[in-house]
Structures are given as structure tokens and as C-alpha cells.
A and B are shown apart, each in its own frame.
Chain A
Amino acid sequence: MAMKLHGHPLSPATHRVMACLEEKGVEYEFVHIHLSTAHHKESFLSLNPFGQVPALEDGDLKLFESRAITQHLAHTYADNGTPLVPQDPKERAIVYVWMEVESQRFDATAAKLSYELVTKPMLGMTTNDAVVEEHQEKLGKVLDIYESRLAKSKYLGGEVFSLADLHHLPIVSHLFGTKTKALFDARTHVSGWGAGILARPAWQKVVEKMKH
């Protein structure tokens, strides 16, 4: 029985897992969860007690939290497709650091910007300009640190693409379609890194799939 990814076509967290599945070349079935009703359904809550997407079903294993799912896939399918976590423990430790940077420093601010500039307009809601300005300033400071890092290292976690970079894909993709792209463009190494990861064939497959 193929792996099932329970998700929503507009959910960045869902796209994060899809990016990983595509990099690994692993077959999966996409199950569209309707978020307005999901958190009332016991069947979905048994997959994710927080009533959120995504959730992964792989045989008897049920897993939620996109970054836990990607780590599971990266280890289980270490020999398939693109290596996403280094074998060497010291190199792996550095990837863990930048995975936490995405999770704890980048995402909080960048996801708020994505919500204001991409999601709200899609849902017919009004963007809050004050929130956008506040978070653009915060994101700018984070990207200054990324700029220094990427001047010394080809990718965030080291010299090769890893989960540390992959986890950024959904939100970076959203922000590149907004005025926030200017923050990336103003920083040479960040700009190159962002364009590079978005151009990856595996990510292009995710973009294609979500169009349909």
C-alpha cells in the first residue's frame, strides 16, 4: 500500500513534505483534507491531534509535524534520490543547527508575511500593512545573517543541499511572488540561494502538482 500524505493544496507545511517526497523520488497518494471540517473528524484527529495538515500514513506509522515527517523520510529513504541529511555526524550537527534556525528564526516572521501578502488576498481578506512593515524589518535582520552564512557556505547546512534548505522552499516560494522578494534581491548570496533552490526539478514538480 502506497504512502498517504494527508494535506491541503494551499498549505505550506504540506508543500514542505511534498518537496521531500519528490527529492527522494518516493511514490505517494495525496489525500485532500478539507480544513473547515477536519478538526471535527475523529478520523483526522487520530492522524494529527492538533487537527492540522499535513499528516503522513506509511503502513502502521502515522506521523504529523512537517519537519518530523521530512526527517523520517530523509533517514528511512537515505539511499533514495537526493541525500538530505549528511552521514558524517559533525556535518549532520551543522544541518540540525540551520534546520532549527529555519524553524525558530525564519519561519515565525516569514510565515506571517506570507499569510498577510499571499493567503489573505487569496481568501478575500485585507492585508495589514503595519504587520507587513514590522515583519519585513525582522526578516531583513534574519536575511542579513543568512547573507553572511551563504557567503561562506554554498548552502545553509554546508556545501550540499539538505533539509536545512528544503524546509524554506514553501515560504520562500510564496514570498518571491510578493514585494518581499526585494529583501532577497538586495542580498547577493541570499538571492542566488533562493533562486537556486526554487529552480530544483523536485520543487518544480510540487508546483506543477499543486496547479491541478
Chain B
Amino acid sequence: MAAAVKVYGPPLSTAVSRVLACLLEKDVPFQLLPVNMARGEHKKPDYLKIQPFGQVPTFQDESVTLFESRAISRYICDKYANQGNKGLFGTNPLEKASIDQWLEAEGQSFNPPSSVLVFQLAFAPRMKLKQDENLIKQNEAKLAKVLDVYEKRLGESRYLAGDEFTLADLSHLPNGQYLVNATDRGELFLSRKNVERWWGEIASRESWKKSVLLAEMLNVCVSIEMLCLSGRFKGAFFCYSRLLHLMIFFSRVSTVLL
């Protein structure tokens, strides 16, 4: 039977992968369904009825339809409180308040400069867009100040909100992943001892590794489709064997319908 929870959007979107990581932490089975952004599907009237800002992800759970990745994550933690990682959003009001605080810090202080850097340094080159050097410098400086605060905090506390991994840490994974692995500004994280230690711990969580794998698998599927369409079957075959290789690492394949 198909999973009741549906996520719409490409997993290479930071907001989509935020939701996927949350679902995986909570052991919630889901279907990941494509939105063809290259063909402008996200700007069409049918899509805008659900997500009026024309962005990804959108989320459906039976009769509930939501957007905004952090709101979706809160909903998942609310509804599925008793499964998977039960402490993801705290088990009492004081824990929850601390998590909310660092979740807001992520949304208000970490996200703006890191999003600009991810777009400028990881996406713009792929999209053959010109990089804005001034914007990069400004946002690097802003992010450095935020990470200085994190450095101090993570010297006092194992994770941002306390001694356990929570939604507050999870929310940083998508932008952090691109910065550390797809740009040359990884040293923003890796030159700060406590931030480096924290990053190493949160990025090696099963749920995040699966989320990253899912994105890679879907990328390979797209490559296979394009190679087949252009008649390059030898290349498509090599991609297909890579896909099988990736699937072996993804143990919950049965819960994800691509």
C-alpha cells in the first residue's frame, strides 16, 4: 500500500531535504514525488493553489496539505511524536523552548547568509550564471559572525539546544552539506573546532546519509533518462549500475516510491 505521506519536490532542494531528513529521523514512510521545475511546473496554477509562492516542497498527509519546510517539520514532530527519534522536538516544554530558540536562530541568522553562499557558489556555476563577488564577501562575513556564536555555544553544549540531537541541528544540514561538500568555503565550518566537531556528528547521522543518498540516486535516474533519450545507451548502462550500487546502501527502499 502506498504511504499516506507525500512530499513533492526535488531532493537537491535544501528545503525538500530538510523535510526528508525529518521524516527519516521519525521513521515515517513517505512517497517522494517529482515537480518538474525545469518545465515550470511549480509556477503553474494547479501547483500555486497548494503553494502560492511557487516553491518546493509541498507536503500531504491524508487531508492535511502544507508548505514551508520548517512548518512541515514541526507538524511531523507533533503528529509522529511517539515514533522514531522521540526527542527530536523535545519531550517537555523547557526542551521544546530551547529547540524553538535555535530553530529560529537557524531560520533568522544562519539561513539567510548561508543560502546566498549556497546559491552563488554551488548552484550559479551549474546554472552558468555569473557569481556576484560582493554578495559572496558580504554574506561570508555575516555567516562567519553567526558561526562564531555557534563556536562558543558548541563549546558549552554538545548540540545547539542541549545534549541531544534535535530539529534545531537538523535544520542546518541542507545548507551545511552544500557549503562543506560542494563549495570551497567549507573552512567556515571546519576551521572552527567545536563547529567542526558538531558538523561531523550531525552529518553522519543515518537519516542525513539516507537523504543525501536519495538525492544522488534521483540525480542518477535523471542522467539515465537523458542518456537513453539521446541514444547513449553505454553511458546509461554505467549510470544504471551506479544506481544499483547506491540502492544497496539505502535499506529503506521499499518505503520510497520514486
Residue positions of A touching B, CB distance < 8 A: 49-50, 61, 63-68, 71-72, 75-76, 89-90, 92-94, 96-97, 99-101, 103-105, 108, 145, 148-149
Contacts and interface: CB of A to CB of B under 8 A. Distances in A.
Contacts, number: 79
Nearest to A145: B52
A137 to B, nearest CB: 15
A65 B64 contact: no
A97 B67 contact: yes
Given A65-B108, A149-B52, A90 B63 contact: yes
Q: Would you list the 7 A-B pairs with minimal beta carbon distance, nearest first?
A: A100-B68, A65-B104, A96-B71, A68-B100, A68-B101, A93-B75, A100-B71
Contacts of B231: none
Contact of A65 (B63, B101, B152): B101
20 contacts: A50-B105, A50-B109, A50-B149, A61-B97, A63-B101, A65-B100, A65-B105, A66-B104, A67-B104, A72-B97, A72-B100, A89-B79, A90-B64, A93-B78, A96-B74, A96-B75, A97-B66, A101-B68, A104-B68, A145-B53
Interface in B39-79: 52-53, 63-64, 66-68, 70-71, 74-75, 78-79
A75 B95 CA distance: 13
A145 B109 CA distance: 25
Of A49, A67, A75, A93, chain B has the most CB atoms within 10 Å of the CB of A93
Of B75, B96, B108, chain A has the most CB atoms within 10 Å of the CB of B108
B125 interface: no
B107 interface: yes
Interface in B144-160: 146, 149, 152-153
B112 interface: yes
B70 A100 contact: yes
Nearest to A100: B68
Of A94, A97, A108, chain B has the most CB atoms within 10 Å of the CB of A97
Given A90-B63, A103-B108, A97 B79 contact: no
Contacts of A68: 97, 100-101, 103-104
Nearest to A108: B112
B112 A63 contact: no
A75 B93 contact: yes
B94 interface: yes
A61 B94 contact: yes
Contact of A76 (B93, B104, B105, B108): B93
B228 to A, nearest CB: 38
A145 B98 CA distance: 32
Given A50-B109, A108-B112, A93 B52 contact: no
A49 B156 CA distance: 12
Given A101-B68, A103-B107, A92 B78 contact: yes
Nearest to A72: B97
Contacts of B52: 145, 148-149
Nearest to B146: A50
Contacts of A71: 97, 100
A97 B67 CA distance: 6
A75 B75 CA distance: 15
Contacts of A65: 100-101, 104-105, 108
Contacts of B74: 93, 96
